[in-house]
Amino acid sequence: MHKLLDEVDKEVWAETDCLSCGNCCKKMTPTFSVKDIKRISTHFEMTPDEFKAKWLRYDKKDDDWQNKKQPCQFLNLADNKCSIYSIRPADCAGFPHLTKKKAVDYIHIHKQNIQYCPATFKMVEKMKALIMG
Q: Which domain does 125 fall in, by range?
A: 2-132
Q: Collect all residues with Cβ–Cβ distance below 8 Å to 75 and sequence separation of at least 6.
A: 22, 25, 26, 81, 82, 83
Q: How many CB atoms lie within 10 A of CB 96?
A: 24
Count structural domains, the chain.
1
- Rounded to two decimals, what is the model's pTM? 0.85
pLDDT digits (tens, 9 = 90+) for 89-120: 999 998 887 766 566 666 777 788 889 999 99
Res. 1 pLDDT band, cuts 50 70 90 = low
pLDDT digits (tens, 9 = 90+) for 25-60: 999 999 999 999 999 999 999 999 999 999 999 999
Confidence check: pLDDT of 133 > 80 = no
